[in-house]
Structure formats: C-alpha cells, structure tokens
Amino acid sequence: MAGGFESLRLGSIAPNFQADTTKGPIDLHEYIGDNWVVFFSHPEDYTPVCTTELGEMARLEPEFAKRGVKLLGLSANTLGSHEGWIQDIKEVTGSQVNFPIVADKARTVAYLYDMIDQQDTTNVDEKGIAFTIRSVFIIDPKKTIRTILSYPASTGRNSAEILRIVDSLQTGDKNKITTPVNWVPGDDVIVHPGVKGEEATRLFPNLRAVKPYLRFTALPKDA
C-alpha cells in the first residue's frame, strides 16, 4: 500500500495500491500498464442499484476495451461476497462480470481514494461503519487522474456518460480540441482556446468562428 498523503485532483497521479480482487492480487499501476482504467466503487454487494450498475458495466466492457480502457470495481465487501454476487448479476442482468472487483472490507483503498460515504446513514455495514459511495476515477496510461465523479448510494450512474467522457478525453488528447455541452462522438467539437491564428486554420480548415473564443469544427471520422 502506498503511504502518505497523495492528493486526489484532476492531473494528479492515481495513488498506487496492492489489493485482493476477484481476479487475484492486483497492483494498480501494473494493472493500468499502457491502458486507461475506469476505477469505480459501489456501496455494497447484493443490493439492487449496484446489481444493475455492475451488470451494465459488464455488458459495456467490450465498448471500453475498444477504447483501450480496463475496468476495476471496488466495495467494502469480502472476496467470497463478490464471487457469490457475480453469479446473481449474471442471473439478473445476463452479463458476466469479467473485470476484477477489489475486496476492500477494511476500506484501506476506499480511504486512499476518499470513497467513504459521510451523508447516508443507511449506507453502512452491520456494525454501522460507512460503506463506499459510487465513485468513478478515469485514469490515463500515464497514471494521471483525468476525471472524478461522485454519486450518492441512491443514484445509479449513467454508464453512457462515463463512455462519453472517455471519448471526449481521448479525442481531445489527439486533436487539440474540447467538446461542448451534450457532445457525443460525431458532433462538432470546439478548437482548443490555446490554438490560435494561423495554427488554428491550418489544423482546422473548416473552422467556424461564432465568437473569437468559440470556434467549432468538424473532425474526420475516427479522428
């Protein structure tokens, strides 16, 4: 386990850890390797919202893989609990969870990633100790945290939004662009404010300036 305080901010290095998972022991940085990782926590195994979420992430795993993204789940439950629940998820949703889920009963990783619930007094274990919230960390191949999302236990995540953020980040990294409100792949993008003058027209010949600071452009497919 990494020691000392490491800040959880966009742009900071994802704190490394070693932990047991449903696919064996894991070292986060080794698991990331040259990939992107979506690392996400759920409150508790054998609960309704979590069952729908994990089933959906399992169904979408091939979509994440297409983008070079590996998935990693976590909750403050035991390996045995995860393993039994994975059977239920398959039965209920039809999807097999093939990605690892960290068994963090002691909440060591949950504290490292600030995933512990402080508001929902029903989201606690049999001893009254708080479970995790629905956190999402999108981590890039340089091990940099690129996105942090926090959802309450009561609200299932929008998995399409997680994929959309990955698409936006990866498209932005490749093309010096940003993405506007409600953007989805195929929509026009915005030329990054840091790209000015001649460079902008060279890179984006079809640039459409609505204001000097708001310049849309289409991108070729697969850009």
- Residues in touch with ligand BEZ (CB under 6 A): 43-44, 47-50, 122-123, 153-154
Q: How far is the CB of 17 from ligand BEZ (least distance, A)?
A: 23
- What distances in angstroms separate CA 152 from CA 8, 97, 140, one per listed residue? 18, 23, 25
Q: How far is the CB of 98 from ligand BEZ (least distance, A)?
A: 21
Q: Measured from the CB atom, is 8 or 49 closer to ligand BEZ?
A: 49
Q: What is the three-class DSSP state of 217? A: strand
Question: Is 129 noted as a catalytic residue in this protein?
Answer: no
Q: Measured from the CB atom, is 15 or 43 closer to ligand BEZ?
A: 43
Q: How far is the CB of 123 from ligand BEZ (least distance, A)?
A: 4
Q: Measured from the CB atom, is 48 or 62 closer to ligand BEZ?
A: 48
CB atoms within 10 A of CB 201: 14
- The active-site residue, picked from 50, 89, 110, 138, is 50
DSSP characters over 112-166: HTT-B-SS-TTSB-TTS-B-B-EEEEEE-TTSBEEEEEEE-TTS---HHHHHHHH
Catalytically active residues, by annotation: 50
